[in-house]
Amino acid sequence: MYKVAIIGAVFFALSIVMTMVGRGGGNFYVLTLVLAGIPMHDAALTGQFVLFATALAASFVFHKSKALSFPLFLFMGGITLVMAFAGGFLAQHFTGREMKIIFSLLLVVAGIMMLFQVDERRKQDSARIGFWNLKSGDDIYPINLWLTVPIAVASGFFAGMVGVSGGSFLVPLMVLACGVPMRIAVGTASAMVASTAFAGFIGHTMHESFNPALAVPLAAVTIIGGIIGSRIALKTKPKTLKLLFAVTTLLAAVLMLVNIYMAKQ
């Protein structure tokens, strides 16, 4: 019980910061559980449950503030939902160490991507094949489906496999490939995180036993943190959110790589 209380305190702080950048917190949730001595597969399962509860709560806040694009959520969320289930189902074929390495490498790529500058000004319609003109309010965002779909497929699969939200990859995808403003990307990613986490959770439960005594208390505290974080995000400058996203993502990758190295000693 003492260990659960400590993990819960860490999760509460993480849920505030991670929800601010649309990641849900899965990267650090799984990492925290692993460092606390929880086996990787169990950590992935618990992380997915916590993610679902937290992201769902945050999504309501973003939706109320009109920072959530339902067309984008349905399109990308549908892809990542299916692939997250597949990733969670096939996770049994990978060792814990292999999952950690994949997890770390993907985080490094996502973190570096968010350091690039992007033009968030109003875009013009694109009549080219393979482009979808997404309308959000008075703005139009021509989305390159040739680039977006493959990345969404890979993001959903690996997110479901290692038990993270997928927000680490979805936010850069929406901001850089789709040209969506950071606030809308964060709000939409929260809804995607909820659906992806739920699918990954179901996939994992087919091969692993769920521990509600650990997961439910953690989910309760992160729901509160998620609501707080989403409200702060709506008042924070996009440039600050992007930098915070990049820093926390790269930090998670470094900590996981250190954990892999220490496990070999």
- Tell me the whole-structure pTM to 2 decimals: 0.72
pLDDT at 195: 80
Per-residue pLDDT of 153-205, as tens digits, reads 887 787 777 766 566 777 877 887 777 888 888 888 888 888 877 877 887 77
Mean pLDDT of 27-54: 82
Query: What is the total count of domains within the chain?
Result: 1
pLDDT at 92: 75
10 Å CB burial of residue 3 (0-12, 13-18, 19+) is exposed
Per the structure block, which two tokens stand in for 207?
């091969």
pLDDT at 127: 65
Per the structure block, which two tokens stand in for 77?
């969320």
Domain range for residue 198?
A: 2-264
Alpha helices in 91-144 (DSSP H): 96-113
Per-residue pLDDT of 67-112, as tens digits, reads 888 888 888 878 877 887 888 788 777 777 777 787 778 778 777 8
Terminal CA-CA length for the chain: 29
The DSSP code for 25 is T
C-alpha span between 97 and 143 (Å, rounded)? 36
In this structure, are residues 96 and 39 in contact, taking their beta carbons and an 8 Å threshold? yes
